[in-house]
């Protein structure tokens, strides 16, 4: 069997077509998928090798991708006029040690199915007669190589696991709830904590109601706060948009708001030394103590806005063109503030434990509406369940109304990994409809 062509051979062959720039990307991956329902258990394992090539100049370019190994002979498509291509130059990559769990084998079939089974048992223990309708665990590892005609060379590794859970509560008609999570490897999923979160969602959804319209102090659990941050991403990625919400002296939010994106976040699901184009990743502060510092900028956007490039170009899969976006974006926690302290500070308001959908964000109109569930709170204690409610208000009012930040930073797989601790917010409303 002949050896696959090297990346340099592919580059030379493509550049012979009178193109000035070319990039070759090769990815190898292996994954195990386990699924459990009340009546079935399935397991499968897959391996994949795939590639992508971009080539062109300032006037035209093409993108080609397929499984297997690329061949110097192509066939390569004709460049499309009007689609220019520029590629990054090599840059020094700061030292980085691959995390030890990158070498952890994929979870075994028996161990994985046992994990899913234990989730069902824990859920019923938390909420009798609740049922886990579907549990899907996917565990994968990958290696990628990249080379471009500017002399840039990069090799990266990845390790990620995802877990999808769907459950139904007791009674008829039964309410339902679902969760989707991601971590570097499946042993980071804790059945008791996940079962408790599902049970809380089911219990609140079954017994709760929404106020017609009310305001007060609102405590947002990390899952709700992360959804809010995900809705604000168009303000934080690329040049220009973030300035829409900045007020006097660059004020973007309250002094409690520090927003950070870090492609090298230790323990992060997408921790890596370089981004999807081989540009070094780094920590970048977007908002510091409420002041807007800079947006996330890809290397080609430098100069279009104040700030330095962030190594933030993502390549979700080999079929995808690289595009800028967050990797691990989070609101900085306050290590000395437990959630109990924030809850105790709520004299009359709400503790919202989960977002039940993605909501709507009108960035131009400075308005949002997010479906939520949780509890009404009086004197720091839960007084009644709340469900089918909508958290509503101004986007600027949300950012400037953050009065307290907890220490319980938690990430959600949304657009990248988006993280937040519990937040105490003033100036928002809870309604029975999105309004």
- Confidence check: pLDDT of 249 > 90: no
Q: What is the dihedral of CA 258, 264, 266, 269, to 10 degrees?
A: 100
Q: Which residues of 142-170 are buried (b: 16+ CB within 10 A; e: fewer)?
A: bebbbbbbeebebebebbbbbbebbbbbe
Give the pLDDT confidence of 119-138 residue by residue, as tens digits: 999 999 999 999 999 999 99
pLDDT digits (tens, 9 = 90+) for 285-304: 999 999 999 999 999 987 76
Say what the pLDDT of residue 353 is: 96
> What pLDDT sits at residue 74?
86
pLDDT digits (tens, 9 = 90+) for 201-241: 999 999 999 999 999 899 999 999 999 999 999 999 988 65
Do residues 156 and 223 share a domain? no
What 3-state class would DSSP assign to 251?
Answer: strand
Domain that holds residue 147: 7-207
Q: Where are the beta strands (DSSP E) in 207-298?
A: 213-220, 259-262, 283-288, 291-292
* Rounded average pLDDT over 14-39: 95
- How many whole angstroms separate alpha carbon 175 and alpha carbon 245? 38
406 φ, ψ to 5°? -85, -175
Task: Give domain status of residue 339, yes or no.
Answer: yes
Tell whether 188 and 251 lie within a shared domain. Answer: no
Contact between 237 and 304 (Cβ < 8 Å): no
Q: Is the pLDDT of residue 251 over 70?
A: yes
Q: Are residues 234 and 161 in the same domain?
A: no
Over residues 379-423, the pLDDT tens digits come to: 999 999 999 999 999 999 999 999 999 999 999 999 999 999 999
Nearest C-alpha neighbor of 217 from the set 361, 377, 410, 387: 377
Report residue 102 as tokens.
Answer: 């990158």
Paired residues of 131 in beta bridges: 168
User: Bridge-partner residues for 370, per DSSP?
Assistant: 391
Question: Is residue 162 in some structural domain?
Answer: yes
Q: Is there a domain that residue 352 lies in?
A: yes
In a domain, 362, yes or no: yes
**pTM for the whole structure:** 0.94
Q: How many folded domains does the chain comprise?
A: 2
- How would you classify the pairing of strands 360-362 and 402-405? unpaired
Looking only at the bridges linking them, the beta strands covering 416-420 and 328-331 are parallel
279-308: b (≥16 Cβ within 10 Å) or e = bbbbebbbbbebbbbbbbbbbebeeebebe
End-of-domain residue from the set 207, 227, 246:
207
Residue that is last in its domain, among 192, 207, 222: 207
Does residue 228 share a domain with residue 156?
no
Q: What confidence score (pLDDT) does residue 17 get? A: 87
- pLDDT band of residue 165 (cuts 50, 70, 90) is very high
| 100 and 236 inside one domain | no
User: Is 2 among the domain residues?
Assistant: no
User: Could you tell me which of 402, 424, 404, 420 has the C-alpha nearest to residue 412?
Assistant: 420
> Is pLDDT above 60 for 242?
no
Task: Examine the domain organization and report whether 185 and 330 are in the same domain.
Answer: no
Confirm if 312 and 415 have CB atoms less than 8 A apart.
Answer: no
Q: Do 217 and 156 fall within a single domain?
A: no
Taking residues 167-171, report their average pLDDT.
93
- For residues 127 and 37, state if they share a domain: yes
Structure tokens at 358: 């993605």
Q: What is the pLDDT at residue 2?
A: 58
Compute CA 379 distance to the chain's CA centroid, rounded to the nearest angstrom: 34
Report the alpha-carbon distance of residue 51 to residue 334 in Å, rounded. Answer: 43
pLDDT recorded at residue 247? 60
Q: What is the CATH number of the domain that holds 71?
A: 3.30.2290.10
- Of the pLDDT bands very low, low, confident and very high (cuts 50, 70, 90), residue 173 is confident
The secondary element (H helix, E strand) that includes residue 43 is strand 41-56
**Residue 81 belongs to a domain:** yes
Which tokens belong to 302? 């430098």
Residue 1 belongs to a domain: no
Grouping H, G, I as helix, E, B as strand and the rest as coil, residue 101 is helix
248 band by pLDDT with thresholds 50, 70 and 90: low
One domain for residues 113 and 12: yes
Instruction: Decide which of 207, 231, 247 is a domain's last residue.
Output: 207
In DSSP terms, which residues pair with 136 in a beta bridge? Answer: 35, 164
Q: Is residue 384 part of a domain?
A: yes
- Same domain? For 158 and 218 the reply is no
Q: According to the model, what pLDDT value does residue 246 have?
A: 66
78 lies in the same domain as 218: no
Looking at the structure, tell me whether residues 72 and 140 fall in a common domain. yes
Q: Whole-number mean pLDDT of the chain?
A: 93
| 139-148, 307-316, 320-329, range with the lowest pLDDT | 307-316
Which residue would you say has higher pLDDT here, 376 or 243? 376
């Amino acid at each position: 069997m002949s050896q696959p062509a090297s990346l340099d051979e592919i580059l030379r062959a493509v550049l012979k077509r009178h193109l000035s720039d070319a990039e070759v990307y090769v990815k190898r991956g292996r994954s195990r998928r386990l699924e459990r329902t009340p009546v079935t258990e399935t397991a499968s394992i897959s391996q994949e090798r795939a590639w992508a090539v971009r080539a062109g100049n300032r006037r035209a370019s093409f993108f080609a991708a397929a499984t297997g190994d690329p061949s110097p002979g192509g066939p390569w498509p004709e460049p499309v006029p009007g689609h220019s291509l520029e590629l990054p130059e090599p840059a020094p990559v700061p030292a980085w040690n691959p995390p030890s769990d990158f070498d952890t084998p994929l979870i075994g079939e028996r161990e994985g199915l046992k994990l899913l089974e234990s989730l069902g048992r824990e859920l019923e223990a938390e909420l009798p007669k609740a049922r886990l309708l579907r549990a899907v665990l996917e565990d994968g590892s990958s290696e990628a190589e990249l080379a471009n005609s500017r002399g840039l060379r990069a090799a990266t590794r990845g390790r990620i696991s995802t877990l999808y859970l769907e459950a139904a509560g007791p009674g008829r008609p039964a309410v339902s709830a679902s969760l989707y999570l991601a971590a570097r490897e499946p042993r980071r999923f804790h059945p008791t904590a996940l079962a408790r979160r599902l049970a809380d969602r089911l219990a609140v959804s079954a017994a709760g109601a929404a106020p017609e319209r009310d305001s007060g102090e609102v405590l947002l659990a990390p899952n709700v706060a992360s959804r809010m941050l995900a809705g604000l991403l168009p303000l934080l990625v690329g040049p220009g948009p973030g300035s829409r919400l900045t007020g006097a002296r660059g004020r973007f939010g309250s002094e409690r708001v520090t927003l950070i994106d870090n492609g090298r976040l230790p323990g992060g699901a997408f921790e890596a030394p370089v981004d999807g184009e081989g540009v070094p990743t780094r920590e970048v502060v977007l908002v510091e103590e409420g002041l807007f510092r800079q947006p996330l900028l890809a290397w080609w956007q430098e100069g279009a806005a104040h700030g330095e490039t962030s190594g933030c170009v993502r390549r979700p899969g080999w079929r995808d063109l690289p595009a800028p976006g967050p990797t691990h974006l989070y609101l900085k926690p306050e290590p000395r503030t437990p959630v109990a302290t924030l809850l105790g500070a709520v004299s009359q308001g709400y503790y919202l434990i989960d977002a039940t959908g993605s909501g709507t964000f009108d960035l131009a109109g400075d308005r949002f509406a997010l479906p939520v569930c949780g509890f009404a709170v009086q004197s720091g204690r839960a007084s009644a369940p709340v469900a089918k409610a909508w958290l509503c208000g101004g986007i600027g009012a949300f950012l400037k109304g953050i009065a307290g930040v907890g220490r319980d930073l938690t990430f959600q797989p949304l657009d990248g990994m988006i993280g937040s601790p519990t937040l105490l917010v003033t100036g928002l409303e809870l309604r029975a409809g999105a309004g």
